């Protein structure tokens, strides 16, 4: 179903409207926007449309080969999202609060969303038909959750015997000419130590198809009900992981000039270790996975061509893990107050800015006066001004008026706003 028509687009010229459904392109039914893109690559098109009132219309037209339709859709997949059939011991979806919005409970494991948006998949639900389609359309790169290359351990972590097939599944991707990024959610005393050494070594053997490996620490919320024992990292154990992985990183950089295996920012912040320099992250291949996000923010702020002002009072909202970094960045501006928000909704050990809720932010801001409040955009639903607990940015604006409230997306925007570029 079409959700939006771009102004001046082919879709507008064809008089398509939001609410119309595309049923067929040249007699073929598209399963997703990948199919649609390939079907629409022809010069002569027959488009079978179903309008909002149920009437069907066949539209015939000619177009340039590279001319796009110019329509947005309610979903990137038209035949339904492939749901995850695993029961991973650390599944975050199973750790959210009850009665939250339905979309937060959707566990996807869809290779199409992996290709389109960088969603991580386990490969456990891929069929031979899926592999053929991946090869046909050359859907590369994909993003694969590894967690462990020991087959028995991976099956234990994913809680499915299909998890043990990771070696043959990666072989199939490589036969199809597909490159892939990988990740490990690391759990203390489960897939760390010697198991992590083995996983890193096995993924390194799969270069150049394997493009990167990200290692992120497991997170646990207070809503977790799973009886499987999960241990989180503390300052000392996080430092051990850093030392362990650095040994690989130094060797890999000496051989190839690339780091390849990267640690999540939380390890450095938890261990109170200095973040690696920007060049260490190469081209930030897993930035959306939180790898190098802190360093990237710092570099963006430093490179922004503006000067911070100190003639207005600012409250900056952040998770507790990022507070120290922000305080150092604004140390010369006494009118900027960093407000680390304790995550009471998910639990105090959940300390990242992206999982802050509106309710906890409201509580942290009670009392005091300020001209401006800055909110991490990652805490809001993509494309909307709503937090995970369904509190909206407008709710905050009403409570804290006349202070202006702005979501901040990156370091450059942060510095520009502190320079007065919000009036």
pLDDT of residue 423: 62
In this structure, are residues 30 and 39 in contact, taking their beta carbons and an 8 Å threshold? Answer: yes
In this structure, are residues 144 and 122 in contact, taking their beta carbons and an 8 Å threshold? Answer: yes
The full set of domain ranges for the chain reads 2-73, 93-291, 303-418
Rounded Cα distance between 122 and 330, Å, is 41
Q: Which residues, listed in sequence order, are joined to residue 6 by a DSSP beta bridge?
A: none
Percent of the chain at pLDDT above 90? 82
- Give the containing element (helix H, strand E) for 48: strand 44-50
pLDDT of residue 62: 92
CATH class, range 93-291: alpha beta
pLDDT of residue 214: 98
Give, rounded to a whole angstrom, the gap between the first and last alpha carbons of the chain.
Answer: 39
- Give the containing element (helix H, strand E) for 2: strand 2-5
pLDDT of residue 96: 83
pLDDT of residue 105: 66
pLDDT digits 0-9 by tens, 131-153: 999 999 999 999 999 999 999 99
* 56-62 β-sheet, strand order: 21-25, 44-50, 56-62
Percent of the chain at pLDDT above 70? 99
Beta-carbon contacts of 370 under 8 Å, excluding residues fewer than 6 positions away, are: 313, 314, 315, 337, 400, 403
pLDDT digits 0-9 by tens, 293-325: 999 999 999 999 888 888 899 999 999 999 999
CATH class, range 2-73: mainly beta
pLDDT of residue 93: 85
| Contacts by 409-413, CB closer than 8 A, 24 or more apart | 409/377, 410/296, 410/297, 410/300, 411/296, 411/297, 411/298, 411/299, 411/300, 411/301, 411/302, 411/304, 412/300, 412/301, 412/303, 412/304
Instruction: Count helices and strands (H / E) in the chain.
Output: 14, 13
Helix (H, G, I), strand (E, B) or coil at 94: helix
Highest mean pLDDT among 105-109, 177-181, 332-336, 367-371: 177-181
pLDDT digits 0-9 by tens, 6-36: 999 999 999 999 999 999 999 999 999 999 9
pLDDT surpassing 90 at residue 66: no
- For the residues 342-360, what does the mean pLDDT come to? 92
pLDDT of residue 369: 85
pLDDT surpassing 70 at residue 391: yes
> In the structure, what pLDDT confidence band is assigned to residue 397 with cuts at 50, 70 and 90?
very high
Q: How many CB atoms lie within 10 A of CB 208?
A: 8
Tokens of 251: 């060797």
> CA of 277: how far to CAs of 121, 280, 281, in Å?
29, 5, 7
> In the structure, what pLDDT confidence band is assigned to residue 2 with cuts at 50, 70 and 90?
very high
> In the structure, what pLDDT confidence band is assigned to residue 121 with cuts at 50, 70 and 90?
very high
pLDDT surpassing 70 at residue 221: yes
pLDDT digits 0-9 by tens, 271-295: 999 999 999 999 999 998 889 999 9
> In the structure, what pLDDT confidence band is assigned to residue 366 with cuts at 50, 70 and 90?
confident
Rounded Cα distance between 237 and 220, Å, is 16
Convert 350-362 to b/e letters by CB count within 10 Å (16 or more is b): bbbbebbbbbbbb
In this structure, are residues 117 and 141 in contact, taking their beta carbons and an 8 Å threshold? Answer: no
Nearest alpha carbon to residue 184 among 112, 272, 244: 244
Tokens of 250: 């130094």
Cis (ω within 30 of 0) for the bond into 402? yes
The DSSP letter of residue 274 is: P
pLDDT of residue 102: 67
Helix (H, G, I), strand (E, B) or coil at 289: helix
Domains 2-73 and 93-291 equal at CATH topology level: no
Considering the chain, what is the average pLDDT of its residues? 93
């Amino acid at each position: 179903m079409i959700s939006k028509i771009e102004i001046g687009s082919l879709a507008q010229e064809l008089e398509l409207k939001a609410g119309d459904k595309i049923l067929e392109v040249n007699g073929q039914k598209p399963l997703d926007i990948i199919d649609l893109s390939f079907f629409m690559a022809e010069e002569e098109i027959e488009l079978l449309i179903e309008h909002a009132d149920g009437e069907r219309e066949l539209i015939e037209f000619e177009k340039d080969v590279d001319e796009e339709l110019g329509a947005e859709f309610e979903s990137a997949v038209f035949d339904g999202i492939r749901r995850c059939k695993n029961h991973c011991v650390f599944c975050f979806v199973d750790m959210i609060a009850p009665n939250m919005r339905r979309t937060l409970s959707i566990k996807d494991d869809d290779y199409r969303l992996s290709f389109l948006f960088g969603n991580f998949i386990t490969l456990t639900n891929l069929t031979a038909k899926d592999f053929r389609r991946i090869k046909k359309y050359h859907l590369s790169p994909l993003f694969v959750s590894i967690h462990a290359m020991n087959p028995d351990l991976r099956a234990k972590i994913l809680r499915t015997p299909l998890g043990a097939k990771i070696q043959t599944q990666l072989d199939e991707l490589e036969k199809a000419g597909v490159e892939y990024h990988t990740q490990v959610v690391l759990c203390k005393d489960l897939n760390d130590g010697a198991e992590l050494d083995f996983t890193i070594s096995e993924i390194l053997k799969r270069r150049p198809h394997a493009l990167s490996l990200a290692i992120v620490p497991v997170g646990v919320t207070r809503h977790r009900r799973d009886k499987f024992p999960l241990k989180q990292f503390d300052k000392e154990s996080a430092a051990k992981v850093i030392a362990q992985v650095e040994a690989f990183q130094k060797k890999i950089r000496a051989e190839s000039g690339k780091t390849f295996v990267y640690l999540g920012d939380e390890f450095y912040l938890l261990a109170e270790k200095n973040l690696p320099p920007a060049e260490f992250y190469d081209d930030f291949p897993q930035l959306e996975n939180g790898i190098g996000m802190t360093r990237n923010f710092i570099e963006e702020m430093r490179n922004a061509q503006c000067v911070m002002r100190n003639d207005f009072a600012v409250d900056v909202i952040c998770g507790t893990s990022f507070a120290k970094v922000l305080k150092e960045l604004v140390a010369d501006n006494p009118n900027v107050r960093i407000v680390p928000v304790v995550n009471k909704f998910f639990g105090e050990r959940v300390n990242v800015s992206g999982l802050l809720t509106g309710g906890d932010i409201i509580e942290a801001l009670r009392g005091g006066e300020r001209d401006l409040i800055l909110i991490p955009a990652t805490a809001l639903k993509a494309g909307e001004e709503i937090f995970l607990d369904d509190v909206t940015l407008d709710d905050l604006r009403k409570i804290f008026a006349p202070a202006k409230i702005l979501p901040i997306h990156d370091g450059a925007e942060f510095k520009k706003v502190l320079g007065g570029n919000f009036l």
